[in-house]
Structure 1
Amino acid sequence: MTTTAPGTPPAGRAAAPAAARRPAALRTRKLIPWAFLAPFLGLFVLCFVLPILYAVHQSFLQVRRHGLFGEEGRETVFVGFDNYARALGQDTFIDSIVRVLLFGVVQVPVMLGFALVLALLLESASALWPGFFRALYFMPYGVPGVVASLLWGYLYTPGLSPIIDVAGLVGLEPDLLGPDTVLWSIANIITWLFIGYNMLILIAQLKTIPAELYESARIDGAGPLQIAWRVQIPLIRPALVLTSIFSIIGTLQLFAEPQIISKFTVAIDSAYTPNMAAYTSAFTGNDYNVAAAQSVIVALTAFVLSFGFLWLVDRKDRRR
């Protein structure tokens, strides 16, 4: 027979409050990660989501002024997709989209190809001073795009460029700022800036490959080229996809480099790229609603191309 001391609650009553406290503790623990994420989520919504929603909202509106100079007032009206029709009806805007797509088709594979080769060379067993060369190749990324464009602009200008002077010694007269070549001169600037950045992403992925895989490949008689093709490149496929997506989006965002190079040549007009066309519509034509529509079109194009690329990659993986 058991006895209970006076004033001591039965065991069942003591367990009940403890069991009631457990769900509250679990709920508190689940809220802790959201508390850490709250500052980021707040800034993300404020600086990213809300501006996008505002741009989409503005793309469906139009400001109509009454009177010869708008002295009789103005009103904002809903016009549906009229701004999109006006944007797509501008030949210069369509030409700018085609231009950057051509730019990306050529420049992105070249840039990522160089970045991949550099990453593989620096992570090879026979690489000398890999830390020094990683920093050296990454250094151009530390130069702001505006400064890099100014530097290259002078290197492209006849009479100032040592490149053109040296080419003249062997009988060549390159026109690096001409209508047919200025796009590829800009591509050279972008490639020079971002090879090191993409190289570091690929190197970070290469460092996750276990050393045992390399040893097994060498035991099987694989040489450096076979190891790179059959071991390293397949295993860094996620990093290659990531850098490709970043490069596709960056291509459609091209703005600062052609804007600066336009000061050195007449071959670049105010709507040379989609972002330049939207900027011109907003701050030269004072048509902010059409500029918003152009911005939304550029964003949708980047979305379609990025997810189209991911779909193709996933489709190939499923076939394998």
Structure 2
Amino acid sequence: MARRQEAKGWVFVGPFLTVFALTFLAPIGYAIYLSLYRDQAFFGGSVFVGLDNYAEVLRDAKFWESAGRVLAFLVVQVPVMLGLALLAALAIDSARLRGAGFFRIALFLPYAVPGVVAVLMWGFLYGDTFGLAADLNKLLGTDAVQPLSGSWMLPSIANIVTWEFVGYNMLIFYSALRTVPGELYEAAAIDGAGAIRTIRAIKLPALRGAIVIATIFSIIGSFQLFNEPNILRTLAPNVITTYYTPNMYAYNLSFAGQQFNYSATVAIVMGVFTAIIAYVVQLRGSREAL
């Protein structure tokens, strides 16, 4: 009887495990396999090199430049984006904001816009010879507004990502706030707690888990930065290089340089870095919750 029940369980779990193995484990395993080999320039074929590709990545100045760029992007953009999302969620949940439903939908709408369309739209706004930036320069009689220049490019990309994902993170925070029991608010009101005190004593503690999850998602998204710089590269090819981000570096190594083994190595190294940082954030968030 117990074996029959176990067999029935595998019938339900089996399809998921099959899809998981084919779409997740198999690509990772193949990437690891590729990273252990290197193509021979003169003799053709590939030869097993062990961890030599990983050692080369760790010495690669282009890799570290791109990794440092996305790390700087993460340190600045993620707190700004999550801070705005938190303020929006608290405002909508406060019951003092008129048209809260409208603002909730309006903030979430950019997330519904396809990423490529969003970048193209902002790219037309950023253009030096067309769009809003060019119009502002003509109006002011200066070239001060240059979103696609070297010093402005990373903030310009951060602005696009923030516009896209503030509503998504706001919805995560707002959903967490809706699970807070009403009795806690009633008790706080009886004790004479004001709005600020209620936020600090009730709402922020209730949001701790959601903040950790949103932070982990944002960290992963930052290290996966690809669409925005890759599309904007057509407008600013001298600013955005082929190794502007690690994902762009791996992509161009593979599809433009035909260096599949080294590209797989770059992807594996970035995956490990991302997993470590995300785990540290999760571990720290869990300890603070305790």
Q: TM-score range by the shorter chain?
A: over 0.9
The aligned residue for residue 232 of structure 2 is: 261
Tell me which amino acid in the other structure corresponds to 1:132.
Answer: F
Show the counterpart of 2:122: 152
1:173-184 mapped onto 2 (5 Å cutoff): 173-184=144-155
User: What is residue 90 of structure 2 aligned with on the other side?
Assistant: 120
- In the other structure, the counterpart of 1:44 is 20
Deviation of 1:199 after TM superposition, in Å, equals 0.8
**Cα distance in structure 2, aligned partners of 1:207 and 1:95:** 42
The secondary structure found in structure 2 opposite 1:135 is helix
Provide, for residues 174-226 of structure 1, a one-character-per-residue CA deviation record: whole Å limited to 9, x for no partner.
Answer: 22111111011000000000001111111111111001111111111111222
Equivalent of 2:46 in 62, 76, 83: 76
CA displacement, residues 22-66 of structure 1 (integer Å, 9 cap, x when unaligned): xx0x44445444433332222111101110111011101112244
Is 1:143 the counterpart of 2:107? The answer is no
Matched, 1:313 2:285: yes
In 2: Cα distance, 1:166 partner to 1:178 partner: 15
AA of the residue aligned to 2:50: G
Q: CA deviation at 1:257?
A: 0.5
Q: Percent identity?
A: 43
Greater CA deviation, 292-301 or 127-136? 127-136
Distance 2:202 2:148 in 1: 42
Q: Which residue of 1 aligns with 2:31?
A: 55
Q: Which residue of 259, 282, 287 maps to 1:287?
A: 259
After superposition, the C-alpha distances for 1:66-102 in whole angstroms (9 at most, x for unaligned) are: 45xxxxxx33221011111222222111100000000
Q: Structure 1: state its 5+ residue gaps.
A: 1-23, 68-73
2:78 is the alignment partner of 1:102: no
Q: Which residue of 2 aligns with 1:185?
A: 156
Give the TM-score normalised by structure 1. Answer: 0.85
1:208 aligns with 2:179: yes
What amino acid sits opposite 2:19 in the alignment?
Answer: L
Aligned length: 288
Q: Is the 8 A contact 2:86 2:173 kept in 1?
A: yes
Partner of 1:162: 132
Query: Based on CA coordinates, which of the two structures has the bigger radius of gyration?
Result: 1
- Return the alpha-carbon distance in structure 2 between the equivalents of residues 32 and 227 of structure 1: 49
Distance 1:35 1:93 in 2: 45
Equivalents in 1 of 2:264, 2:175: separation in Å? 38
Return the TM-score normalized by structure 2: 0.94
Query: 1:170 Cα shift?
Result: 5.3
For structure 2, which runs of at least 5 residues remain unmatched after alignment?
Answer: none
Segment drifting more, 172-181 vs 148-157: 172-181
CA distance in 2, matches of 1:289, 1:258: 24
Letter in 1 for 2:250: A
Q: Does 1:91 find its partner at 2:54?
A: no
Instruction: Write the mapping of 1:294-305 to structure 2, written as runs, cut at 5 A.
Output: 294-305=266-277
Which secondary structure state, in structure 2, belongs to the residue aligned with residue 236 of structure 1?
helix
Partners of 1:33 and 1:232 in 2: CA distance: 40
Taking the TM superposition and a 5 Å limit, the aligned residue runs for 1:11-26 are 24=1, 26=2
Amino acid at match of 1:84: Y
- Is the Cα–Cα contact under 8 Å of residues 36 and 49 in structure 2 kept in the other structure? yes
